[in-house]
């Protein structure tokens, strides 16, 4: 263990954050740089070398990646802690995002294997300031600004009040091995430009810019915690259980605009099990659809959607293809996942989760109901088709006196959008005769001159 006044002073800062119990154990992400070197040294001073393990992730993306690993190995040897090295294979997408995910995944695997309590990073106050500026530039709202929290689950950031300049000075003073990543000095990444170009200019405008951004970050976290409790109370007041992901649309629409957006965001985050930056425009889109009888869907990104139907707003994850673009409502297209099936008269057919049976009777011996239709056998003919509804389908509902599109019929009868594609539609000669459980066509009604009765039953398939 290193004996250094600079490290001892830093250890006092770390212990003062309340993030680390001296009796606990954990894993430190050691990048090879000065920040993580200081974090590791301070945590060793607080908890002891037997309670701290290092992990280094070598992505092999740069010619000098091995220099980072050598610095990490030298540091851990000096601190007398174990170092675990992971070498993941990254894809061809967003390398920074993939590298971050691989880093935390490796640390979590090691933490679980060791039975440790926390994972520590070397993020500093400077990182927080740079991240806030970056997210202000690329994302609306306050939610994206809450990144790099001092504690996020098992992940802790014990240097959140220390600047990058201070860690470099401490590392040099205490002779901690570290290696400067040369890619941090290039303009390839937006964050590097904020570091080298934007922050220095802002510092000329106000020398306390970094401190002010970090203080704002801390206040936002305090306010977010308070608001979370208020939103929970508001949802509880309208009968939403703590784990529920849907709500009565009228209840949400009656809330003030601010609470409405926060309530929707809370439900979205419950469904996604992650932070969701549900901004004002997306909240407004959800509310507009919720106020319409036909409802709709708003895609929120990452497979998350808000579905408005039958007076409810429900959040959920979906991998369905043909989703609407982010922030827009999906077109109420007909269902096309289920292939049409032929059904002889008399006969039976399987359509999705339904079994349909058609019989011919001389006399009416079946009582019509939602899942039973009694039709003119001669009008039906000898063969029917059972399929999902299609855009442009129309029917003359019995007793209505006119025709109506199936889309409007579903809306009038309160059939949820998510269920419409599974409703059996029985056609004869290309004309809609019966929409199971919804309506019988006037064209196929029983009359005084009907010579036979066709009884069609729809029941859940065994």
Residue bearing tokens 């590791």: 40
Stronger pLDDT, 461 or 306, i.e. the higher one: 306
Question: Which pLDDT band, with edges at 50, 70 and 90, does 317 fall under?
Answer: confident
Stronger pLDDT, 332 or 274, i.e. the higher one: 274
Mean pLDDT, residues 274-288 taken together: 89
Stronger pLDDT, 331 or 59, i.e. the higher one: 59
Q: Does residue 77 come out as left (phi exceeding 0), alpha (psi in the -120 to 50 range) or beta?
A: alpha
Portion of the chain with pLDDT greater than 90, in percent: 64
Q: 238-317: which CATH number, 3.10.450, 2.40.160, 3.30.465, 1.50.10? A: 3.30.465
The pLDDT tens digits of the residues spanning 321-360 come to 333 333 333 334 444 458 899 999 999 999 988 999 999 8
Question: Which pLDDT band, with edges at 50, 70 and 90, does 108 fall under?
Answer: very high
Mean pLDDT, residues 245-270 taken together: 95
Mean pLDDT, residues 213-241 taken together: 95
Question: Which pLDDT band, with edges at 50, 70 and 90, does 93 fall under?
Answer: low
CATH topology identical between 5-213 and 238-317:
no
* Both structure tokens of 191: 């964050």
Spatial separation of the C-alpha atoms in residues 352 and 387, rounded to whole Å: 9
Q: Give the residue among 183, 200, 201 at the shortest CA–CA distance from 192.
A: 183
pLDDT of residue 362: 64
Spatial separation of the C-alpha atoms in residues 96 and 461, rounded to whole Å: 50
Provide the H-helix boundaries in 62-114. 65-79, 95-114
Query: 341-460 has which CATH code?
Result: 3.50.40.10
Mean pLDDT, residues 143-162 taken together: 94
Least confident of 63-77, 211-225, 346-360, 448-462: 448-462
Report whether CATH 3.50.50.60 matches the domain 5-213.
no
Mean pLDDT, residues 41-47 taken together: 98
Least confident of 2-6, 239-243, 367-371: 367-371
pLDDT of residue 331: 37
pLDDT of residue 255: 96
Domain coordinates in residue numbering, the chain? 5-213, 238-317, 341-460
Mean pLDDT, residues 294-298 taken together: 89
Q: Give the residue among 190, 207, 116 at the shortest CA–CA distance from 155.
A: 116
Q: Is the pLDDT of residue 434 over 80?
A: yes
Mean pLDDT, residues 144-152 taken together: 91
Portion of the chain with pLDDT greater than 70, in percent: 93
State the average pLDDT for the chain: 88
* Both structure tokens of 456: 């069609």
Q: Is the pLDDT of residue 292 over 80?
A: yes
Q: Is the pLDDT of residue 178 over 60?
A: yes
**pTM over 0.75, yes/no:** no
The pLDDT tens digits of the residues spanning 378-424 come to 999 999 999 999 888 999 998 777 888 898 888 777 777 778 888 99
pLDDT of residue 330: 38
Q: Is 403 helix (H, G, I), strand (E, B) or coil?
A: coil
Q: Is the pLDDT of residue 289 over 60?
A: yes
- DSSP per residue, 412-436: HTT--HHHHTTS-EEEETTEEEEET
């Amino acid at each position: 263990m290193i004996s250094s006044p600079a490290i001892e002073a830093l250890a006092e800062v770390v212990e003062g954050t309340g993030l680390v119990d001296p009796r606990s154990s954990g894993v430190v992400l050691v990048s090879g740089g000065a920040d993580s070197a200081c974090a590791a040294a301070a945590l060793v001073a607080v908890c002891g070398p037997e309670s701290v393990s290092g992990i280094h992730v070598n992505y092999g993306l740069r010619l000098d990646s091995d220099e980072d690993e050598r610095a990490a190995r030298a540091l851990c040897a000096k601190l007398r802690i174990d170092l675990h090295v992971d070498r993941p294979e990254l894809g061809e997408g967003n390398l920074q995002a993939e590298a971050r995910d691989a880093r935390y995944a490796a640390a979590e695997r090691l933490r679980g294997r060791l039975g440790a309590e926390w994972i520590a990073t070397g993020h500093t106050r400077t990182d927080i300031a740079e991240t806030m500026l970056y997210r202000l530039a690329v994302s609306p709202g306050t939610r994206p600004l809450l990144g790099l929290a001092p504690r996020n689950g098992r992940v802790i950031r014990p240097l959140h009040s220390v600047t990058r300049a201070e860690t470099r000075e401490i590392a040099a003073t205490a002779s901690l091995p570290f290696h400067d990543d040369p890619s941090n000095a290039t303009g390839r990444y937006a964050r590097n430009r904020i570091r080298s170009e934007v922050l220095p200019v802002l510092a000329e405008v106000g020398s306390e810019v970094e401190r002010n951004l970090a203080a704002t970050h801390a206040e936002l976290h305090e306010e977010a915690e308070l608001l979370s409790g208020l939103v929970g109370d508001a949802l509880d007041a309208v009968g939403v259980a703590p784990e529920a992901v849907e709500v009565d649309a009228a209840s949400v629409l009656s809330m003030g605009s601010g609470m409405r957006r926060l309530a929707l965001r809370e439900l979205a985050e419950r469904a996604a099990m992650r932070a969701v930056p549900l901004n004002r425009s997306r909240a407004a889109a959800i509310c507009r659809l919720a106020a319409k009888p036909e409802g709709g869907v708003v895609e929120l990104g990452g497979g998350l959607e808000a579905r408005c139907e039958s007076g409810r707003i429900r959040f959920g994850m979906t991998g369905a293809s043909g989703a609407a673009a982010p922030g827009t409502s999906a077109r109420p297209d007909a269902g096309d996942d289920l292939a049409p099936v032929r059904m002889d008269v008399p006969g039976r057919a399987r359509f999705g989760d339904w079994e349909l049976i058609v019989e011919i009777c001389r006399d009416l011996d079946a009582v019509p109901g939602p899942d039973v239709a009694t039709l003119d056998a001669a009008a039906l003919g000898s063969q029917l088709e059972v399929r999902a509804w299609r855009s442009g389908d129309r029917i003359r509902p019995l007793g209505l006196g006119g025709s109506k599109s199936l889309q409007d019929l579903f809306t009038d009868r309160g059939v949820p959008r998510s269920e419409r594609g599974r409703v059996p539609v029985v056609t004869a000669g290309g004309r809609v005769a019966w929409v199971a459980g919804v309506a019988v066509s006037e064209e196929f009604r029983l009359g005084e001159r009907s010579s036979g009765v066709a009884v069609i039953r729809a029941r859940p398939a065994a």
